[in-house]
Structure 1
Amino acid sequence: MTLFRFIVEQGSQDKILAGEEALLESISNGAQPILRFVIFDPTAVLVGYHQAVEQEVNIDEVKKRGWDIGRRPTGGGTIIMGKEQLGWEIYADASLVGYTPEEAIKRGAEGVIKTLEKLGIKANFRPKNDVEVNGRKISGIGAFSQGKYIAVTGTILVDFNAESMVSVLRLTSEKLKDKLAKDFRDRLTWINRELGKSIEMSQIIELAKASFEEALNVKLENSTYTETEEKLISELRMKYSSPEWIFNLRKPLEGDIKYIEKKLPGGLVKVQVKMAGEKIIESVLITGDFFIEPRRAIYDLEARLKWSRVEDVEKEIRDWYKEVKIIGISADDLVNIFKEVLSK
Structure 2
Amino acid sequence: MEQFRFLIERNNQAYILAGEEALLMSVSMGSSPVLRFVIFDPPAILIGYHQAVEQEVNLDEAKKRGWDIGRRPTGGGAIIMGPWQLGWEIYAEKSFLGDTPENAIRKGAEGVIKTLNILGIRANFRPKNDVEINGRKISGIGAFSEGKFIAVTGTILLDFDIDAMVSVLRLSSEKLKDKLVKDFKDRITWINRELISPIDMQELIKVAKEAFSEVLRVRLEESSYTELERNLINQLVIKYSSPEWIFNLRKPLIGDDIRYVEKKLPGGLIKVQVKLAGKNIIQSILITGDFFIEPRTSIYDLEARLKWSRVDDVEKEIREWFKNVKIIGISPEDLIDLIKGAVE
Distance 2:142 2:196 in 1: 28
Equivalent residue runs for 1:158-173 within 5 Å? 158-171=158-171
- 3-state SS of 1:155 partner: strand
CA distance in 2: counterparts of 1:336 and 1:83, whole angstroms: 42
Judge which range, 6-15 or 191-200, deviates more. 191-200
Structure-to-structure mapping, 1:65-214, within 5 angstroms: 65-171=65-171, 183-214=183-214
Matched residue SS, 1:153: strand
Measured at CA, do residues 181 and 168 of structure 1 come closer, stay the same or move farther in structure 2, by a change above 3 Å? farther
- C-alpha separation between the residues in 2 aligned to 1:142 and 1:283? 29
Cα distance in 1 between the residues matched to 2:302 and 2:95: 30
RMSD over aligned CA atoms reads 1.4
Q: Contact (CA 8 Å) 1:162, 1:181: kept in 2 or not? A: no
- Give the letter for the 1:306 counterpart: K
5+ residue gaps, structure 2: none
Alpha-carbon offset, residue 250 of structure 1: 0.3
Structure 2 residue aligned with 1:219 = 219
Task: Tell me if the contact between 1:15 and 1:237 (Cα under 8 Å) persists in the aligned partners.
Answer: yes
- 92-101 or 243-252, which moves further after superposition? 92-101
- Who is 2:247 aligned against? 247
One-letter code of the match for 1:247?
F
Distance across 1 between alignment mates of 2:14 and 2:181: 28
Query: 1:140 offset after TM fit, Å?
Result: 0.5
Q: Provide the secondary structure at the position in 2 that maps to 1:284.
A: strand
Contact 1:166 1:181 in 2 (8 A): no
Contact 1:48–1:74, Cα closer than 8 Å, also in 2: yes
Q: Distance in 2 between matches of 1:281 and 1:181?
A: 37
Whether 2:270 is the aligned partner of 1:294: answer no
Which residue does the alignment assign to 1:230? 230
Normalising by structure 2, we get a TM-score of 0.96
Tell me the distance in 1 between the aligned counterparts of 2:172 and 2:112: 34
Offset from partner CA, 1:46-97 (integer Å, 9 cap, x none): 0000000000001111111011000000000000000001000000011211
Cα offset, 1:171, TM superposition: 4.9
Q: CA deviation at 1:196?
A: 3.6
CA distance in 1, matches of 2:196, 2:335: 44
Q: Write the distance in 2 (CA, Å) between the matches of 1:97 and 1:340.
A: 38
Match of 2:330 in 1: 329
Contact 2:46 2:72 in 1 (8 A): yes
TM-score, normalized by length of structure 1? 0.96
Identity over aligned pairs, percent: 72
Which amino acid letter does the alignment assign opposite residue 224 of structure 2? T
SS at match of 2:27: helix
Q: Say how many residue pairs are matched.
A: 339
Secondary structure at 2:153 match in 1: strand
Q: Give the C-alpha shift of residue 197 in structure 1.
A: 4.0
| Residue 169 of structure 1: how far off its partner (Å) | 1.3
- Gapped regions of structure 1 (runs ≥ 5): none
Offset of residue 201 of structure 1: 0.3
Moved over 3 A (4+): 179-182
Amino acid of the structure 2 residue aligned with 1:147: G
The residue type equivalent to 2:305 in the other structure is: R
Q: Helix, strand or coil: the match of 2:183?
A: helix
Amino acid in structure 1 at the alignment position of 2:329: G
Question: Residues 47 and 181 from structure 1, CA distance in 2 versus in 1: closer, same or farther, beyond 3 angstroms?
Answer: farther
* 1:32 corresponds to 2:69: no
Confirm or deny: 8 A CA contact 1:166 1:180 kept in the other structure: no
Deviations 1:86-145 (A, max 9, x none): 000000011211200001000011100000000000011111111111111111000000
Match of 1:278 in 2: 279
Cα distance in structure 2, aligned partners of 1:170 and 1:110: 31
